[in-house]
């Protein structure tokens, strides 16, 4: 093989599909690649033919110019595909396997990986623990919104589907295993969602919807989703969620109308650092608004799952402190209520096998919940634009037409 096509960030508000290099078993220099990673040999890697590769809200932060992502960065960290080549150090993954790729890149050998904390692997990003494909400051591993992608430590990272034909029948659902389904599930698990729980989820984007579906899977009695976008709230309502339009005022009052009490057992932040205010401030950016609201509406002794992305630097922030990752958090309120907080990347490998089985055996319809919508790779710029405009869809790129054929 000699060619490849990929989705490339070309500056704030602009992505394009370019001809790029076919992956090789060595990490080469390029936009965003950490100099300490250049020349890194990858005999343990596999080359994946992308069957599905998704557009994520985390990608949108970069495309909006809210990070220091360099021009020319190949985007994408949600990859599902077929193995077409393996390095000489790969023992168990075979050519032809259909696999899910966790968005966390991890080595399987460091202390954190051995403790299943794969979101903070110590060996793949020279700058700090934690890495991902196609993402700023994550070591420079090439993104997966492409026809072909490279996965290091393949025996460790790849989740093989047991039966290819069965998997292709549910491929849109399985495509959510790379990130948003485990991420939403992680948010709920760390918030303490269980049978009979009342749950508030801030944000009705794909991660929020995945968290809502996860809450039901975990046995929640009531799942309330809050957002500003009516179309996305309607999508949440379509599979049994109660909904709150936070533009109408304080979520606390609306929660009381639903539950007869103004608080929930568990809360999940699926918004992150580009949060807006509530009520009269709904059109203004308030990066701490969601976190402070969740502390206010969660019962004393409860927990907050925070899979929403927060960054150490936001050059587009409206507040000076927020440009350096500092937010006006009411930590005293959280302390007084003895709340627990769980932050950081979801360790996908802690959940993806179980969630795969739930999909394969019809315990959840995650693609329907998030309104997964396949589009050709060439339409990626349009997909990014529509997603940024608030479309209630999870856009799934179909580089080889395999999703269309399966449908």
| Residue 193 belongs to domain with CATH number | 3.40.50.720
**Conformation bin of residue 135: beta by default, left when phi > 0, alpha when psi is -120 to 50:** beta
User: Are 171 and 188 contained in the same domain?
Assistant: no
User: Are 279 and 351 contained in the same domain?
Assistant: no
* Number of domains, the chain: 2
Report how many helices (DSSP H) and strands (DSSP E) the chain contains, helices first: 15, 15
User: Are 380 and 270 contained in the same domain?
Assistant: no
- Write down the pLDDT at residue 2: 63
Q: What is the mean pLDDT of each successive set of 10 residues along the chain, which is 407 residues long?
A: 88 96 95 93 98 96 91 97 98 98 98 97 96 94 97 98 97 98 98 98 98 98 97 98 94 96 98 86 86 97 95 83 87 96 96 98 98 98 96 98 92
User: Are 166 and 203 contained in the same domain?
Assistant: no
Distance separating alpha carbons of residues 266 and 207, to the nearest angstrom: 16
Which of 291, 320, 342 is a domain's end point? Answer: 342
- Write down the pLDDT at residue 312: 84
- Write down the pLDDT at residue 315: 84
Domain that holds residue 197: 180-342
Which of 306, 325, 342 is a domain's end point? Answer: 342
The DSSP 8-state label assigned to residue 19 in this structure reads: E
User: Are 191 and 299 contained in the same domain?
Assistant: yes
Q: How many CB atoms lie within 10 A of CB 153?
A: 22
User: Are 269 and 399 contained in the same domain?
Assistant: no
User: Are 195 and 220 contained in the same domain?
Assistant: yes
User: Are 196 and 322 contained in the same domain?
Assistant: yes
User: Are 121 and 10 contained in the same domain?
Assistant: yes
Tokens 């990858």 map to which residue?
Answer: 42
User: Are 187 and 108 contained in the same domain?
Assistant: no
As beta bridge partners, residue 199 has: 223, 266
Residues 6+ apart with CB under 8 A from 176: 54, 210, 366, 367, 370, 372, 394
Distance separating alpha carbons of residues 166 and 70, to the nearest angstrom: 40
> Closest by alpha carbon to 44, among 86, 95, 101?
86
User: Are 190 and 165 contained in the same domain?
Assistant: no
- What CATH number is given to the structural domain containing 11? 3.90.180.10
Which of 321, 342, 363 is a domain's end point? Answer: 342
Torsion of CA 107, 109, 113, 116, to 10 degrees: 110
User: Are 220 and 357 contained in the same domain?
Assistant: no
């Amino acid at each position: 093989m000699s060619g490849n096509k990929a989705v490339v960030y070309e500056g704030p508000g602009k992505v394009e599909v370019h001809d790029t290099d076919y992956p090789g078993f060595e990490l080469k220099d390029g936009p965003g690649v950490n100099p300490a990673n250049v020349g890194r040999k990858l005999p343990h890697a596999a080359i994946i033919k992308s069957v599905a590769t998704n557009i994520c809200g985390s990608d949108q932060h970069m495309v909006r110019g809210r990070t220091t992502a360099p021009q020319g960065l190949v985007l994408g960290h949600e990859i599902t595909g077929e193995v077409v080549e393996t390095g000489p150090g790969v023992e168990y993954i075979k050519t032809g396997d259909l696999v899910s790729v966790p968005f966390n890149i991890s080595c399987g050998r460091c202390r954190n990986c051995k403790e299943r904390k794969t979101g903070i692997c110590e060996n793949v990003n020279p700058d700090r623990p934690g890495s991902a494909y196609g993402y700023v400051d994550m070591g420079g591993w090439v993104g997966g919104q492409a026809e072909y992608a490279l996965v290091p430590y393949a025996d460790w990272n790849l989740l093989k589907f047991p039966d290819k034909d069965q998997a292709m029948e549910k491929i849109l659902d399985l495509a959510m295993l790379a990130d948003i389904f485990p991420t939403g599930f992680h948010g709920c698990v760390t918030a303490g969602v269980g049978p009979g729980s009342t749950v508030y989820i801030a944000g009705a984007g794909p991660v929020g919807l995945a968290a809502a579906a996860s809450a039901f899977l975990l046995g929640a009695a009531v799942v309330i989703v809050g957002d500003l976008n009516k179309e996305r709230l309607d999508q949440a309502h379509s599979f049994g969620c109660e909904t709150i339009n936070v533009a109408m005022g304080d979520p606390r009052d609306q929660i009381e109308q639903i539950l007869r009490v103004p608080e929930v057992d568990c809360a999940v932040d699926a918004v992150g650092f580009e949060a807006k205010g509530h009520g009269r401030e709904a059109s203004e950016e308030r990066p701490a608004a969601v976190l402070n609201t969740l502390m206010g509406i969660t019962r004393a002794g409860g927990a907050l799952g925070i899979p929403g992305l927060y960054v150490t630097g936001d050059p587009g922030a409206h507040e000076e402190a927020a440009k350096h990752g500092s937010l006006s958090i009411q930590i005293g309120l959280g302390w007084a209520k003895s709340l627990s907080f769980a932050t950081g990347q979801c360790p996908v490998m802690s959940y993806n096998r179980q969630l795969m089985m739930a999909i394969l055996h019809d315990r959840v319809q995650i693609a329907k919940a998030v309104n997964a919508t396949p589009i050709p790779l060439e339409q990626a710029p349009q997909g990014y634009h529509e997603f940024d405009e608030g479309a209630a869809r999870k856009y799934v790129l179909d580089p080889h037409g395999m999703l269309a054929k399966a449908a």
